[in-house]
Amino acid sequence: MSIFAHSITALAPVLVFLTISLIVWIALHSSGTIMHVFSASGIEASSRLMGFFLVFTSVQFVINSVPEIIADYHA
């Protein structure tokens, strides 16, 4: 493996972390503006939508893990 590939693999997680941190900071910093644009009904709708995403993501985790647990138990 070359030195270039090693430096990229060492630097990439740091750059990804910094990029995501910047995006989150911008979103939190501008939350007042976002709330003003969406108003109360928009915030309520987006909260319900995020709750729906959370529910079907957790159901999918259960659906994926139950067969693996059963296979491990019977093995």
The per-residue pLDDT for range 22-73, each reduced to its tens digit, is: 999 999 999 999 889 989 899 999 999 999 999 999 999 999 999 999 988 8
Q: pTM of the full predicted structure? A: 0.55
| Band of pLDDT at residue 19, cut at 50, 70 and 90 | very high
Determine the Cα–Cα distance for residues 12 and 15; give it in Å rounded to an integer.
5
51, 43 contact by CB (below 8 A): no
